[in-house]
Structure 1
Amino acid sequence: MLKKLKKKAVVATLKQQLAGENRYTSGYVQQNAGFTLIELIAVVVMVGILAAIAAPGWLGFTNRQRVNKANDVVLAALQDAQREAKKKKLSYSVSFQNVSNVPMVAIHQGVVPPPTPSNPDQKGIWKPLGEDIELKQKQVLLYTNLENNSDGTKFNKKASNTISYTTLGSGTITFDYMGALPGTAGGSSDELGLKIAVAAPSPGSSTSASNLRRCVIVDTLLGGMRTAKDDKCN
Structure 2
Amino acid sequence: MSNKDTKKRFHPQQDAGFTLIEMLVVILMIGILAAIAAPSWLAFVNRQQVNKASDAVLAALQEAQSEAKNTKLSYSVSFQKNSANQDISVAIYSPNAYPTNAVPPRSLPWKLLGKDVGANSNQLLLGANLNSTNIVNTTSSVSYPASSPLATSASPPPSTITFDSTGALATSTSPSAPNFGTPVSPSTDPPGLKIVVAVPSSANSTSASSVKRCVIVKTLLGSILTAKDNQCS
TM-score tier (shorter): 0.7 to 0.9
The separation in 1 between residues aligned to 2:104 and 2:115, in whole angstroms, is 18
Deviations 1:45-82 (A, max 9, x none): 11111111111111111111111110000000000000
178-187 vs 39-48, which moves further:
178-187
Task: Give, in angstroms, the shift of residue 115 of structure 1.
Answer: 2.7
Deviations 1:95-132 (A, max 9, x none): 11111232111000017555337xxxxxx710111211
> 1:164 aligned to 2:143?
yes
The separation in 2 between residues aligned to 1:77 and 1:145, in whole angstroms, is 18
Larger Rg: 1
Which residue, 124, 139, 154 being the options, matches 1:140? 124
Seen in structure 2, the aligned counterparts of structure 1 residues 81 and 114 have a Cα distance that, compared at 3 Å, is: farther
Q: Structure 1: where are the runs of 5+ without partners?
A: 1-16, 118-123, 148-153
Tell me if the contact between 2:134 and 2:179 (Cα under 8 Å) persists in the aligned partners.
no
Q: What is the root-mean-square deviation of aligned Cα atoms in Å?
A: 2.6
Identity %: 52
Task: Give, in angstroms, the shift of residue 146 of structure 1.
Answer: 1.1
TM-score (norm 1): 0.77
Q: Which one has a larger percent helix, Structure 1 or Structure 2?
A: 1
The separation in 2 between residues aligned to 1:221 and 1:82, in whole angstroms, is 13
Q: Which residue of 2 aligns with 1:121?
A: none
The separation in 1 between residues aligned to 2:67 and 2:88, in whole angstroms, is 23
Q: Structure 2: where are the runs of 5+ without partners?
A: 96-100, 149-157, 182-191
Equivalences, count: 204
Q: Which residue of 1 aligns with 2:105?
A: 115
161-170 vs 176-185, which moves further:
161-170
Q: Which residue of 1 aligns with 2:65?
A: 82
TM-score (norm 2): 0.77
Seen in structure 2, the aligned counterparts of structure 1 residues 60 and 113 have a Cα distance that, compared at 3 Å, is: farther
Q: Which residue of 2 aligns with 1:226?
A: 225
Which structure 2 residues correspond to residues 99-114 of structure 1 after superposition, within 5 A? 99-100=82-83, 101-110=86-95, 113-114=103-104
